[in-house]
């Protein structure tokens, strides 16, 4: 029995179950009743009988056949007339069919099945338990305290499953399949609570195009009707408690009890069992958010005012008290306005921008004539935009633009809307043009506006344009005495200089850091201090970067929005590189949650999730996130994160064994960076990854040239030890493939030592894996096992799960056994007992006299393994890739196999092995 709310996907699951059963040759009998049919006697039974094979009905005895005909003709009468005979007839006919093929009853929307049919089907299910007749049914979540047909349709034993909401990435895939943009997925997951039907309806998949990001998504009437029906089904009193929760700022059960709902704990639990709310710690959250909208919209104004008055009486915070007192009344009120403005100023001092926005907006609504309403609306728009609350920001900004506002107020309102665009600044041309026209008479606003134009140019991949806008922003900021904008513009200039490989970025950043910048600007992620932390990450000064970012996190927590997302993403990247895999995943996942709540650009967060998953999660998930990040960045024309997502996509594909696709992604990244004039290889370290992929494809010359290009750039800048170590590791792979494993061992060992010095354990473990492969090519199998074992020890210590799995596979292939766990302690105890690695004893390095049991006589383990792969149709290059050896080694081994077995070709070898 599947249970869940409307639109959660129960019918879609039943479709898959039915199709799978039909493919297996089962007879699928499906009922999908509708609400009007619930009062129609035997309507479900009629549908069931019409799907039965005619010969099975004809095989019934005359009395039973007459009952079936009476049901189909509608002449059976009440349930009591012939009810037992009808039950027996249904049992007999299903048993007849089940004797020929299994039967699956698929019952959808069982809440609309008529009572007579439900009783008869339940009777059959109980009486045919020993027959190959199974039932899978779906129903809505049972309302607390109500009876349901499920107890009749699926008597014990029954497996009951609640269909959960879709996760964010699954919902994104569904929405993209319906043509909705990636950014809509983040917004709609939060608005729908993961309900696929609600998400599609809210996203406009069934109607007009979605609204701009700053406008609240209107509830379509079918969605409103569904939600209202779920609310109406609640027991008495529960809906009233939910209304109080919907009107509270951060409702808790304790607050609801104090506000006049003494049974709030029980009522919230009942609402939770109906799938309408959940507890996030002590806070009551609506799932989906539209439930609160329906409750508030349909409550009378007098009732809402009374609830706000009650909530004001139990408020423990000055701002919350002012908010509820304002909402409890209506019309201009000087005293209320003064209390709101005072509370907003206090909230601003502690950085609670979301609350600031709501209080200023309320002040503008309740202010008497002649008071500075426009200023409060603009302040609300700016605070809401920086806090990542697009609904409030859009409402306030559009009120400014629709009224009789000054040019300065219009520019500030448009800048707030521009800030809501995130990375999709290319879609804000009209807003930029209008703001520039108004800013001609407002010199003080030219600096902030040109700073955003500079960032738009960087996002679009036009650094020359960005430089011109930065110069304009600095000039305007200095003329207006705006030190904050000047500092941020200098920081962006330092970023452009570094990207282009100019050493003077150090001086520029120092000048920016010397200027005072407030803690909370709404653009904390672009302040000189934040950029300095990003540069520390690029320079492999991970401890310094992490310490600075953790300090900034405390400030960003108060601001929220893009500031918090930016700091969390950077912390995730630092954690991934420094081997704090679990921490990296936590930061990346939290950044994605904040992005959903604020309806931000998802491309940056998909990138960070992919990086974290590659380090400590799953290569499969990393690949999915990176692919989604590429699509999101392409849709928003965001060249910065398109490049980053292409990098992690290439890495994920290479790690998944998709070498050709991985190389294609990295080549595209290489071409994009060339177009944009990127000259610093420490920002996106793709050269080594591309070279490794090319080596796997046998394109050794291109791989060597890629390494040389990256090395020249790194040596010219002089601050890239990690980049040089990665290039050494890639060069070791190429050398090993080209038959120079000795030099490969030296290079990979040096890279491992460099990464140990830089305290980058995952990179060090990767270098040790390469070293182990090179040692195997030198036939130094004991040394190979020590290197790979050391790598595995590192990966286990830092919880780098994908690397642990990969290393275990390497060891399994090397030993000719199935993939399984490996003890790092055993790798160091080489004197305990001899270990065989690819046919060589790890303790002595001597080749054993014979192969494993079952191998052709005279063949070693390695020879038998390679011969078996040839028999399976593998090419020499495929064998070399699977066993981490060179193609020349495969060819030499096959020559020995041919000689020992007296054959001359791969075909003869396969025939000889088949004979044996």
Cα–Cα dist 671/437, whole Å: 37
In angstroms, the CA 591 to CA 595 distance is 6
Please determine, for residue 612, whether its predicted confidence score (pLDDT) is greater than 50: yes
Please, which pLDDT band fits residue 587 given cuts at 50, 70 and 90?
very high
Here the tokens at position 187 are 């917004």
Q: Which residues contact 575 (CB under 8 A, 6 or more apart)?
A: 546, 581, 583, 584, 587, 612
Residue ranges in 656-800 assigned as alpha helix (H): 659-676, 687-697, 700-717, 721-737, 741-757, 761-777, 781-798
Q: Worst-scoring range by mean pLDDT, 25-29, 370-374, 809-813?
A: 809-813
Q: What is the pLDDT of residue 324?
A: 92
Model confidence at 840: pLDDT above 80: no
pLDDT at 818: 35
Number of H helices, E strands in the chain: 47, 9
- Residues in contact with 404: Cβ distance below 8 Å, sequence separation at least 6, in sequence order: none
Residue ranges of E strands in 61-157? 103-107, 133-139
What is the four-CA torsion angle of 814, 818, 819, 825, rounded to 10 degrees?
-60
Please state at what angle helix 721-737 crosses helix 761-777, rounded to 10 degrees.
20
- Residues in contact with 415: Cβ distance below 8 Å, sequence separation at least 6, in sequence order: 382, 435, 445, 448, 449, 452
Sign of CA dihedral 757, 762, 763, 766: positive
Contact 488, 451 (CB under 8 A): yes
Query: Could you report the per-residue pLDDT of 313-342, keeping only the tens digit for each?
Result: 998 888 889 999 999 988 899 999 999 999
Report which DSSP code applies to 28.
E
Cα 916 from Cα 910, distance rounded (Å)? 10
- Give me the mean pLDDT over the 116-123 stretch: 85
Rounded mean pLDDT, 883-912? 84
Contacts of 512 (CB under 8 A, 6+ apart): 487, 488, 490, 491, 493, 494, 528, 531
Closest CA to 551 of 519, 593, 573, 516: 519
720: CB partners within 8 A, 6+ apart: 539, 681, 682, 714
Q: Regarding predicted confidence, which is higher, 489 or 72?
A: 489
Hey, how many other C-beta atoms are within 10 angstroms of the C-beta on 186?
A: 28
The pLDDT, as a whole number, for residue 838 is 32
DSSP string over 507-562: HHHHHHHHS---S--S-GGGSHHHHHHHHHHHTT-HHHHHHHHHHHHHHHHHH-HH
> What does the angle CA 113 – CA 116 – CA 122 come to, to the nearest 5 degrees?
80
Q: Please, what sign has the CA dihedral across residues 73, 74, 79, 80?
A: negative
Q: What is the mean pLDDT of residues 448-453?
A: 94
Contacts of 538 (CB under 8 A, 6+ apart): 498, 680, 682, 683
428 has pLDDT over 80: yes
Instruction: Share the mean pLDDT of the chain.
Output: 86
Is residue 700 scored above 60 in pLDDT?
Answer: yes
Bridge partner residues of 104 (DSSP): 28, 134
User: Distance between alpha carbon 18 and the CA centroid of its chain, in Å?
Assistant: 30
- The percent of residues in the chain predicted with pLDDT above 90, rounded, is 53
Using alpha carbons, list the distances in angstroms from residue 254 to 60, 244, 268, 324, 852.
Answer: 64, 12, 11, 17, 70
* Pair of tokens at residue 277: 């709310």
Whether the per-residue pLDDT at 6 is higher than 90: the answer is no
Greatest Cα pair distance, the chain, in angstroms, is: 104
Spacing of C-alpha 565 from chain mean position: 14
Between 567 and 184, the more confident residue is 567
Q: Would you tell me how many other CB atoms lie within 10 Å of the CB of residue 854?
A: 7
Q: In residues, how long is the chain? A: 916
pLDDT digits (tens, 9 = 90+) for 141-152: 755 444 455 566
- pTM given for the model: 0.78
């Amino acid at each position: 029995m599947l249970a869940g709310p409307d639109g959660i996907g129960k019918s879609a699951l039943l479709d898959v179950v039915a199709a799978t059963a039909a493919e297996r040759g089962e007879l699928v009998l499906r009922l999908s009743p509708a609400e009007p049919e619930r009062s129609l006697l035997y309507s479900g039974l009629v549908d069931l009988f019409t799907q039965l094979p005619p010969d099975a009905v004809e095989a019934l005895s005359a009395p039973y056949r007459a009952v079936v005909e009476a049901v189909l003709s509608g002449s059976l009468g009440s349930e009591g007339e012939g009810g037992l005979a009808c039950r027996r007839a249904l049992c007999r006919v299903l048993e007849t069919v089940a004797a020929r093929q299994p039967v699956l009853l698929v019952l959808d929307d069982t809440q609309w099945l008529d009572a007579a049919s439900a009783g008869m089907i339940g009777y059959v299910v109980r009486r045919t338990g020993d027959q190959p007749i199974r039932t899978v049914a779906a129903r809505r979540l049972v309302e607390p305290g109500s009876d349901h047909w499920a107890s009749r349709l699926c008597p014990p034993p029954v497996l009951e499953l609640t269909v959960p909401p879709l996760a964010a990435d699954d919902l994104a895939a569904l929405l993209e399949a319906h043509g909705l943009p990636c950014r809509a997925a983040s917004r709609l997951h939060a608005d729908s609570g993961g309900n696929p039907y609600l998400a599609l309806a809210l996203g406009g998949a069934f109607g007009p195009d979605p609204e701009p990001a700053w406008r609240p998504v209107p509830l379509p009437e079918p969605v409103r009707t569904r939600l209202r029906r779920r609310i109406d089904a609640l027991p008495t009193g529960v809906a009233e408690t939910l209304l109080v929760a919907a009107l509270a700022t951060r409702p808790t059960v304790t607050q609801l009890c104090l506000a006049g709902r003494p049974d709030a704990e029980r009522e919230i639990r009942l609402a939770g069992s109906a799938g309408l709310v959940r507890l996030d710690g002590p806070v009551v959250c609506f799932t989906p958010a539209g439930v609160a909208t329906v409750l508030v919209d349909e409550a009378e104004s007098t009732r809402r005012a009374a609830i706000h008055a009650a909530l004001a009486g139990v408020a423990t915070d000055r701002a919350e008290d002012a908010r509820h007192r304002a909402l409890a009344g209506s019309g201009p009120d000087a005293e209320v306005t003064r209390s709101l403005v005072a509370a907003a100023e206090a909230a601003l001092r502690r950085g609670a921008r979301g609350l600031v926005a709501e209080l200023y907006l309320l002040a503008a609504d309740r202010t008497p004539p002649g008071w500075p309403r426009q200023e409060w609306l603009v302040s609300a728009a700016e605070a809401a935009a920086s806090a990542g609350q697009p609904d409030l920001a859009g409402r306030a900004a559009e009120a400014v633009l629709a009224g009789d506002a000054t040019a300065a107020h219009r520019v500030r309102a448009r800048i707030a809307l521009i800030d809501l665009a995130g990375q999709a600044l290319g879609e804000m041309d009209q807003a930029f043009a209008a703001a520039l026209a108004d800013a001609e008479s407002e010199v003080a606003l030219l600096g902030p506006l040109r700073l955003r134009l500079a960032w738009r140019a960087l996002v679009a991949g036009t650094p020359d344009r960005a430089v011109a806008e930065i110069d304009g922003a600095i000039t305007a900021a200095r003329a207006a005495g705006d030190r904050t904008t000047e500092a941020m513009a200098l920081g962006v200039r330092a970023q452009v200089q570094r990207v282009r490989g100019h050493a003077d970025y150090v001086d520029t950043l120092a000048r920016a850091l010397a200027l005072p910048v407030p803690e909370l600007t709404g653009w904390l992620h672009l302040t000189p201090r934040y950029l300095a932390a990003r540069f520390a990450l690029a320079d492999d000064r991970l401890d310094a970067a992490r310490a600075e970012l953790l300090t900034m996190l405390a400030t960003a927590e108060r601001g929220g929005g893009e500031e918090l997302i930016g700091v969390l993403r950077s912390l995730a990247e630092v954690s991934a590189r420094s081997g704090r895999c679990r921490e990296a995943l936590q930061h990346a996942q939290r950044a994605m949650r904040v992005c959903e709540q604020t309806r931000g650009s998802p491309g940056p967060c998909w990138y960070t999730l992919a990086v974290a998953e590659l380090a400590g999660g799953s290569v499969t998930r990393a690949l999915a996130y990176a692919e989604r990040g590429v699509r999101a960045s392409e849709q928003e024309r965001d060249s910065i994160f398109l490049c980053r997502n292409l990098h992690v996509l290439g890495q994920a594909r290479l790690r998944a064994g998709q070498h050709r696709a991985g190389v294609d992604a990295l080549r595209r990244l290489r071409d994009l960076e060339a177009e944009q004039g990127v000259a610093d290889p420490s920002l996106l370290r793709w050269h080594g990854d591309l070279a490794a992929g090319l080596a796997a494809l046998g394109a050794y010359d291109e791989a060597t040239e890629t390494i040389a290009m990256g090395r020249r750039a790194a040596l010219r800048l002089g601050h890239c030890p990690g980049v040089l170590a990665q290039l050494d590791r890639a060069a070791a792979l190429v050398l090993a493939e080209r038959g120079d494993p000795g030099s490969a061992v030296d290079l990979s060992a040096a890279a491992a030592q460099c990464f140990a010095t830089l305290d980058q354990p995952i990179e060090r473990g990767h270098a040790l894996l390469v070293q182990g492969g090179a040692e195997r090519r030198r036939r130094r199998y004991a040394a190979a096992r020590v290197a790979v074992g050391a790598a595995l020890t590192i990966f286990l210590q830092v919880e780098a799960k994908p690397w642990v799995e990969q290393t275990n596979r390497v060891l399994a292939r090397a030993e000719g056994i199935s993939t399984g766990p490996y003890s790092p302690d055993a790798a160091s105890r080489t004197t305990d007992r001899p270990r065989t690695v690819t046919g060589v004893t790890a303790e002595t390095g001597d080749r054993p006299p014979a192969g494993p049991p079952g191998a052709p006589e005279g063949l070693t383990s390695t020879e038998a393994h390679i011969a078996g792969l040839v028999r399976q149709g593998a090419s020499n290059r495929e064998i070399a890739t699977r066993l981490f050896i060179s193609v020349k080694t495969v060819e030499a081994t096959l020559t020995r196999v041919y000689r020992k077995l007296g054959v001359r070709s791969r075909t003869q070898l396969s025939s000889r092995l088949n004979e044996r």
